[in-house]
Amino acid sequence: MNFNQPVIPYNKAEFIETDTGNKVSRRATISGPQNIILGGKTIISSGAIIRGDLRRTGPGHAVVISLGRYCVVGEGCVIRPPYKLYRAGFSYFPMKIENHVHIGAGSVVEAATIGNHVQIGKNCIIGKFVIIKDCARIADNTVLPANTIVPALSLFAGVPGRFVEDLPETTQELVEMQTKQYYQRFQPVESE
């Protein structure tokens, strides 16, 4: 329905579309792509940086960052796996982002896990090992310090981010519809 849902146009030449419908901007920096999983119909916007190269030391390859279906990594976002310091050194840990997760432009994410139907606003800092449960929402410009836990269906905002209110019971359907529509509206236009 393109009623008040106008097309979100993108330059066809800029994006690579995968077999599963992921759309990845050529202007995004995808480091260590062999360690990154995109679930399908996920959009990586221009200027985003995804650090799949920051992996635990050891042989073989390992999943560093996994993103589910219908996710959007906004323009200029940085997605970087969290690390821990030890007496002997330090190690990176994998990051898992579930389905229908939108991350607003300019946000930096070092979370451990982000659940389904999570909305993260613009210019947020999501610290190391943060856990965001299903259907939560992080308002624009929020800073979540390392190890913050965000319960399901709650809105966090501020610096440092704090609980503001419970989100409506309809959040899951609402976010699912919005993320699906966003993917449908995200359409190529031929470059001039």
Partner 1 sequence: MPSVHYYCPCLSTSPVPPPPDLESSSYSFHELHTLYFCTEPECMAIRCNRCVSVEVNGYYCPNCLFEVPSASVRAEKNRYGACARNCFQCPSCRNTLVIVASDPPEGSLSASVAAVGITGEPPYFLYCNFCRWDSTEVGITFEKATGLAGQLQKTEETAPDVVEFERLKEHFEPFLRAAPSGGIAHAHSNPITSAASSALSRDISIPGLSKYSALLAGRRGGRNDREKAGTTSKDKEELAEFRSRWETGAGASVAEGEVDWIKHLEDVGEVATIEQRWVGSWTTSMRERDLKPLRIPLHSKKTKRCPQCRHIIIKPEQKSQSVRYKMKLTASNFVPAIAISVPPPVASTKAVDPNAPVTFHAGRTYPFRLAFTNPMYEPTTVTLQVQRAPLLKGRPPFAVSLPSPPFAIAAYAEAWEYEDEDEDMADEDIDALLAGVGSPSGYTQPREVAKPKKPKTVGVLERKANTTVIGGELVIGKEGRGDAKFNLLVTHTYQAEDTAAQEGETEEKSTKTPTSRQAEVKTFSFYIVIDLGVIIPREKEESHRRDSEQMSIS
Minimum distance from residue 113 beta carbon to partner 1 (Å): 12
Report the site for partner 1 in 64-123 (rule: CB under 8 A): 84-85, 87, 117
CB atoms within 10 A of CB 141: 17
Cα(130)–Cα(128) distance, integer angstroms: 6
Does residue 185 bind partner 1 (CB under 8 A)? no
Asked if 19 touches partner 1 (CB under 8 A), the answer is no
Q: Quick check: 23 binds partner 1 (CB under 8 A)? A: no
Q: Residue 177: what are its φ and ψ, rounded to 5°?
A: -65, -45
148 binds partner 1 per the rule CB under 8 A: yes
Residue 170 found at the interface with partner 1 (CB under 8 A): yes
Total number of residues that touch partner 1 (CB under 8 A): 33
d(CA 67, CA 36): 8
* 41 counts as binding partner 1 under rule CB under 8 A: no
Minimum CB distance to partner 1 smaller for 1 or for 59: 1
DSSP string, 97-165: E-SS-EE-TT-EE--SEE-TT-EE-TT-EE-TT-EE-TT-EE-TT-EE-TT-EE-TTEEEETTTTEEEE
**Contact set with partner 1 (CB under 8 A):** 1, 3-4, 84-85, 87, 117, 128-129, 133-135, 143, 145-149, 151-154, 160, 162-163, 168-174, 184
